[in-house]
């Protein structure tokens, strides 16, 4: 079984944004030539207080130990959403974390090397 993709956002549940992100994830996967199975996308939570990167970091610190090595955590909690903030990908704790540059993934700095992704 392929390790899951865990989605954590501050989007809430009253609009189409969570489903749109999931659709985009599956759309990207479907374009890659591969015979591997599609990953499961798990809802890590979507009620993080809007724009509260500190709360999002708390959720991630709670979530990651529950998932197997190789899991990918996609976190979208950003007080400056729509701005020019770059994405950061971190390989840490035998998992991959992706989110906006800033406080959301800052707690991983001691455990990993983070690289900017365009």
Distance CA 14, CA 90 (A): 30
Distance CA 25, CA 3 (A): 14
pLDDT tens profile 2-15: 889 999 999 999 99
pTM of the model: 0.87
Domain ranges of the chain: 5-117
pLDDT tens profile 50-83: 999 999 999 999 999 999 999 999 999 977 666 6
Alpha carbon separation from 107 to 20, 29, 36, 71, 114 (Å, rounded): 28, 28, 32, 18, 11
Architecture in CATH of 5-117: 3-Layer(aba) Sandwich (3.40)
């Amino acid at each position: 079984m392929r390790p899951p993709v865990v989605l954590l956002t501050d989007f809430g549940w009253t609009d189409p944004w969570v489903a749109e992100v999931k659709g985009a994830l599956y759309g990207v996967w479907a374009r890659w030539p591969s015979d591997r199975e599609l990953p499961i996308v798990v809802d890590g939570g979507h009620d993080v207080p809007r724009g509260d990167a500190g709360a999002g970091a708390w959720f991630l610190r709670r979530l990651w130990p529950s998932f197997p090595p190789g899991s990918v955590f996609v976190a979208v909690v950003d007080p400056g959403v729509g701005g020019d903030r770059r994405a950061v990908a971190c390989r840490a704790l035998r998992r991959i974390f992706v989110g906006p540059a800033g406080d959301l993934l800052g707690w991983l700095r001691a455990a990993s090397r983070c690289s900017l992704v365009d």
